[in-house]
Structures are given as structure tokens and as C-alpha cells.
Structure 1
Amino acid sequence: MALLQRKIFKSINSSKKWKIHQQSYFLERLSELLKEGFSLGEALSFLQMMMEKEKKDIEGMMEKMEEGKSFPESLIQFGFSEQVISQLHLSLLHANFTDTLKLCSTHIIEKQKQFGNLKKVVVYPLFLLLFSIFMLLAIREVLLPTLESSLLSNEESTNYFVYILLFFLKYLPQLLLGAIFIFGLIYVLLKRWLSHKNVLERASIFCKVPIIGKWYLNYYSSLFSRELSYFYLNGQSIYKIVEALQAETSTLFMHQISLVMEEGLKKGDHLKIIIDQFPFFRKELSWIIYQGELTSQVGVKLKIYSQECHRTMMQDIEKKINLLQPLLFSFIGFIVVFVYAILMLPMLNMIGGF
């Protein structure tokens, strides 16, 4: 079933993909209407009036539902994530559909805010990097012929520094293309190598990568604890959760984890022991589940823990990206000195400085 869902997602290339704020607003308003006693059909009809721009899309949802498709399946074409589709589908089968709509809406809008903050941090360093490359290319096109004619006129007195500088300027495009080719080749080879690994093996590898491994560790911990919290908040036992993840629509990551969990549970292992064997989860996750089971608060604790993991991940990403700014400023400073040296080279060469 999980394989079928992935094929459905891959086969969809809709031009009607909704923006994040549209998805969040739709799910939140739908949740509110259902809490007021509207049926799903009545709520969708009312939302057609509230969301004028999306009226035809909502009408298309209702048509698909009349054809026998479930409500979550009707959302796929509008760009809703696999996690949202999976949770809505399972909540329809196991109740708490209204609360899950609200939870998904909140998560979507929080994700949008975090992405927006991250985007603000990334744009400026990227601008500086592109500006630096453009400056070097401009120097090459404008000054290189003049520099070659003036500095290489007397080869015997020309300093090695001048040769290195001119070589760098002359072959700058080739050096840039060569660097792009090397990085591209490494990317293709890594992608091909990773394609032979299953999703759990890939997760373990990503968590061991220097600098960014901590991001993946927090991401997978947040993803798993969030997914699990939805089930527990819906009143499901661990056995029902494992069964649901295998029998119904689920992400590939969660589906393969459920297979390992099922095998462990059949052996009589405690859930804490099973979770501890996954190297891509933070160590305290298993203890939070264990303590949550003792106090019957596992759903709430996992939800809070998921948010904390996500917050920690975003903070660490922003912190590391912020470190790029001083490095890029240093690079810009180097370029300024480099340009100044280029402009001064003819004069220094004439007075015998080089």
C-alpha cells in the first residue's frame, strides 16, 4: 500500500498546487466547521463560498469523493505532503479526524514560518557569493588583456606572483566549470550509491555526515515522534499503530520502521529497546516514550518533543549558516585586496616592486 501511495505521488504533476497558506487555511477552516456540526460535504460546500479562488478545486475534490476516492486522496493533486495525507487517511479510519485537521494545519503554518526565517538567513550569503564570482569574471574580461600586455612585456623581471595571478584570472571560467563538474560528479556518484540503500540505511548514513549530521538526527527524531504522537493522541495502541502503518497509506520511512518494530514486538522486546537500535534517533527519544507510557502521556510528550527537535534543528541550521557570513565577508575582503593588487601591479612592476 505504501508503494502504491508513492506511485500516486510521483505520477501527479498538477498545476493546481496550493500554496502553504492556502493548505493551512483550508484545513483549519474545515476543522472548525466540522466541530460546529457540519458534515464533510456541507463543510466543503461552505468553503467554496469562503475560498472563491479555490472554488473549482474544492468542487473537484467533491467530485473525486463522489467517484469513490477518500478525502485525503482528493488532496494529493493540490500539493499536500505525504505526511499530511497519511495522517488524515489514518484519522478517518480511527477517529479524531477533526483534531488531526487542526494539528496538520498548525504544523504546516509553523513549517512555513521556519522556512521563511531560514530563507532570510540564506539569501544574503548567496548574494555575496554570486557577487564575488561576478566581480572576478568582470575583472577578467576588462583588465586581463591590459595586464598581460603590461606585465609580461619583460618576462625576465616578472615575479612568480604575477604569473600565478594572471593564470588564475585567465583560466577562471575553466576553474569554475571544473569545480562545478567535480561537485556534480561527486553528487551523481553519491546519489547512485545511495539508491542501492534502503531508506533506513540512508538515514543512518546521513546522520554520520560531519556538520549536517545533527540536522538529520533532529529531523528524523522530530518526524518519527510527531507521527507517533498523532497516533497516540488518537488513542491507538502500539500494535494498532504498527498495523496501520503497514496496512494503510504511509511514508516509506515510517513503513520500514514499522516492519522493524513489528519484528521486535513479536520477539517480546519493549518499545524502548526497539527504538534504541535505530542510530538516526536521538538517545532520549526511547526514554520519553518509556516515561510517557508509564504516565499515560506518551502522545503529549512526543508532540512536545517533536517540536523541540524541530526547533533545535532549525536553530542549529541558522547558527551554521550565520557562520558563512563572516567567511564570505573575509572572501569579499580578499577579493578587494586582490583587485587592488591587480590595479597596482603595472605601477609596481615599472618601479621594480615585482
Structure 2
Amino acid sequence: MRLELTKFQKKRVKHFKTSEQVLFFQELGELLQSGYSISQSLDILASAHTKWQHWLRRVIKELNQGFALHVILRKDVSNQILLQLKLADQHGNLTETLVAIGENLAKLQQQQNKVTQVMRYPIILFGLLGMMFVGLKYFLYPILNQWQDTSTIGTKESHNYLYFIVGMIILFSLVIIAFCHRKNPRQKLILLSYMPIVGVIVKTIFTYQVTQQLSTLLSSGLTIPEILDEISQGDEKSNRMTIILANHARQHFQKGYTIESYILKQPYFNRSLAGYFSRGHEPKVLADYLSYYAKTQFQLLMQQTDRLIGTLQPLFFGVIGVAIVILYMSMLLPMYNSIGGLYQ
């Protein structure tokens, strides 16, 4: 009999950080591989990690009440992980799946750190530029304006010009946000895939994540159509993008498309993925191939991210340098005009 969530589970807030999930799934899988039952494994983890004790005691209690692991964890981990746990529980390879989830999360965390590293430089540099602008506007310009009244007019004109530029940037950003908001998740993914510079990285990230997920699910003995059926039955409110993509693929397969031709037609996949589906491998054999391919895609992602960082650093430093020169000119020109006015 299928058990529903308790009232406590529905109210529980997601608090499981990615770094903690990596430890939890890897250690739980290793304990199960050593021959411990899932309750014994969780009890050992509760003793080893005092921070998790209260939560793990509750997990053990709900397991003893007949709840499945994926039901208990549905407020703590992503829907992709829940699907893997559900199918692994149904097909009897929960131990291997838990270890694989831990490894995948570790790579995902490394990927997120790389993306954060890419974004850190422009944010810091533009933050410094903003601080310089505020300092000039509220501290230096008032002093310069006291020297000569005419400089006030010039300063106001430059300020109006700057406000116009900032206003246009904000308006343009709002238009883009409104345009993207009207698109469904798949359409947004397509737009990102076509973007210059970042589009290549977006395709590699998506290809890696899909390949890694398929590898784990195929190792359970499922076929691609069965995986798509399972995904389509999920909660669209909490997993909208995955369900839309799965339904889109199902519709094309029903029209007679092969997996290979479908992948080649989608702009958000790396085309090299299609070759693995043209050989007619059994699901578990295909899972091994895709697991290897996912590793190559992860390595490619790290290389692409490093190249992007190497490109962005001098580019943003150049932009900041030009902006600093413009700010200094806006500071020195009124001073020059003021000094020139003293000799007239």
C-alpha cells in the first residue's frame, strides 16, 4: 500500500546543502555495499554526523513505518534525485544508485563553483566601478561645483547623459526579462544555447547532466521510453523543465523520430551524443557508454569554463579601465575649466 506524506513532511523546509548531500549519499551507499541494512546505515550516519542526528532519527522512524526513501527525502533533495531513488528502489539497485548520486553531486558542486568563479570577476569589478562613481558624484563633484558655477551646468549635463544611459540599460533589461518570462523552459534553453560565448557552455552543461541522469537510470534496466514515461508522471509545478523536455521528446518519438535524429535536431545537445544511440546497445551496456561519455563532457566543461575565465578577465579589466579613464576625465575637465576661468 502506498503511504502518503505525513503532515510534518509537507511542512519541512529544504535544508540539505549540496556538500552535505554528497557526503550523505556516498557514505550511505558505501555502508549498504558493506552489508548493512538501510536502517543500520542511517543509524551509523546519525552517530558519525551529530548535525544530522535529529533528522536521521526521523528518517529511520518513517522508514520503519513503511515509507519509501524517495518519499521521505522529497523535501530535501531535487526531483531528479528522487526519480533515481524511486526507480532504483523499484528495480533493486539502490546501493549502486546512492553511490552514483554522491559522485554526481560532487561533480555538480565542482561545476557550480566554476560558474561562480566566472561570475565573480565582473561582479567585483563593476562593484568597484560603482563605488568610484558614487564617490565622485557625492564627494568630489560638490567640491568642484563650488569652484565655478559654470562647472555645475556641465556636471548636470553629464549627469543627465549618464542617467539617460542607465535608464536605457534598465529599460532594455526589463524588455529582455519580460520576453524571456513569456517563454517556456525549453524555449529559454534554446535561447541560451544560441547565445554567443556562453551558448557552448550551456550545451555542454545540459548534455552532461542529461547523459549522467540517463546513465544512472539505464543501469536499472529501464529503456529510454520507460524513463520518459516515469519523468512525465512527475509534479510539473516543482519539475516543470524536465517534464516539458521529456514530453517534447516523447511526442517526437511517437512521430517516428529515432533518438539519434532527435538529438541532432535539438540545439541544446552536443552532437557527439547522438552516436551512442545509433548502435542498438542494451540499456545496461548503453549506461556504461554514457557514463564514460558523461565524464568526457565534464572534463570538456571544465576546459570551456577555464577558457571563458581567461577570456573574460582581460575583457572586463579593459572595460573597467576605459570606465575609469572616463570617470577621471569627468573629474579633471571641470577642474581644468575652473582653473582656466581664474586667469580670464
The RMSD of aligned alpha carbons is: 3.5
- 1:159 paired residue number: none
Q: Distance in 2 between matches of 1:124 and 1:166?
A: 32
Mean Cα deviation higher: 237-246 or 300-309 = 237-246
Q: Distance in 1 between matches of 2:317 and 2:225?
A: 55
Asked if 1:167 corresponds to 2:167, the answer is no
The share of aligned pairs that are identical, in percent, is 22
Q: Distance in 2 between matches of 1:143 and 1:30?
A: 61
The answer on whether the counterparts of 2:208 and 2:298 sit within 8 Å (CA) in structure 1 is yes
User: Secondary structure of the residue that 1:77 maps to in structure 2?
Assistant: coil
Asked if 1:280 corresponds to 2:271, the answer is no
The answer on whether the counterparts of 1:221 and 1:281 sit within 8 Å (CA) in structure 2 is yes
Asked if 1:72 corresponds to 2:70, the answer is yes
Q: Distance in 1 between matches of 2:220 and 2:210?
A: 16
* TM-superposition CA deviations, 1:110-166 (whole Å, max 9, x none): 2222322443343233212111111111111112233334354499xxxxxx93x65
How does the TM-score come out when normalised to structure 1? Answer: 0.79
Residue type matched to 1:143 in 2?
L
Q: Quick one: which of 202, 212, 215 aligns to 1:226?
A: 212
How big is the shift at 1:336? Answer: 4.1
Q: Quick one: which of 139, 146, 151 aligns to 2:143?
A: 146
User: Secondary structure of the residue that 2:270 maps to in structure 1?
Assistant: coil
Q: Distance in 2 between matches of 1:154 and 1:22?
A: 59
- 1:189 paired residue number: 178
Q: Distance in 2 between matches of 1:268 and 1:145?
A: 71
- 1:346 paired residue number: 335
How does the TM-score come out when normalised to structure 2? Answer: 0.81
Q: Distance in 2 between matches of 1:262 and 1:124?
A: 41
Q: Distance in 2 between matches of 1:182 and 1:12?
A: 39
Q: Structure 2 vs 1, CA of residues 102 and 319 (structure 1 numbering), >3 Å: closer, same or farther? A: same
Residue type matched to 2:48 in 1?
M
Q: Distance in 2 between matches of 1:201 and 1:241?
A: 22
Q: Structure 2 vs 1, CA of residues 280 and 152 (structure 1 numbering), >3 Å: closer, same or farther? A: same
* TM-superposition CA deviations, 1:291-348 (whole Å, max 9, x none): 4728973212212222333443444344334433223322333344345432464346
User: Secondary structure of the residue that 2:194 maps to in structure 1?
Assistant: coil
The total of aligned residue pairs comes to 333
How big is the shift at 1:189? Answer: 1.0
- 1:42 paired residue number: 40
Q: Structure 2 vs 1, CA of residues 247 and 146 (structure 1 numbering), >3 Å: closer, same or farther? A: closer
Asked if 1:205 corresponds to 2:202, the answer is no
User: Secondary structure of the residue that 2:195 maps to in structure 1?
Assistant: coil
Mean Cα deviation higher: 237-246 or 93-102 = 237-246
Q: Distance in 2 between matches of 1:135 and 1:75?
A: 48
How big is the shift at 1:12? Answer: 6.3
- 1:302 paired residue number: 290
Q: Structure 2 vs 1, CA of residues 81 and 179 (structure 1 numbering), >3 Å: closer, same or farther? A: farther
Q: Structure 2 vs 1, CA of residues 340 and 213 (structure 1 numbering), >3 Å: closer, same or farther? A: closer
Q: Quick one: which of 31, 34, 38 aligns to 1:33?
A: 31
* TM-superposition CA deviations, 1:59-115 (whole Å, max 9, x none): 12223334443212222333x222212111111111211111011101111222232
* TM-superposition CA deviations, 1:253-282 (whole Å, max 9, x none): 443444454455556554323433433222
Asked if 1:316 corresponds to 2:304, the answer is yes
How big is the shift at 1:34? Answer: 0.8
The answer on whether the counterparts of 2:260 and 2:278 sit within 8 Å (CA) in structure 1 is yes
Consecutive unaligned residues of structure 2, counting only runs of 5 or more, are: none
Q: Structure 2 vs 1, CA of residues 351 and 57 (structure 1 numbering), >3 Å: closer, same or farther? A: same
Q: Quick one: which of 43, 47, 52 aligns to 2:50?
A: 52
Residue type matched to 1:150 in 2?
W
- 2:167 paired residue number: 178
Q: Distance in 2 between matches of 1:243 and 1:209?
A: 31
Q: Quick one: which of 289, 292, 296 aligns to 2:277?
A: 289
Q: Distance in 2 between matches of 1:295 and 1:25?
A: 29
Q: Structure 2 vs 1, CA of residues 129 and 297 (structure 1 numbering), >3 Å: closer, same or farther? A: same
The answer on whether the counterparts of 2:189 and 2:268 sit within 8 Å (CA) in structure 1 is yes
Consecutive unaligned residues of structure 1, counting only runs of 5 or more, are: 6-10, 156-161
Mean Cα deviation higher: 267-276 or 17-26 = 267-276
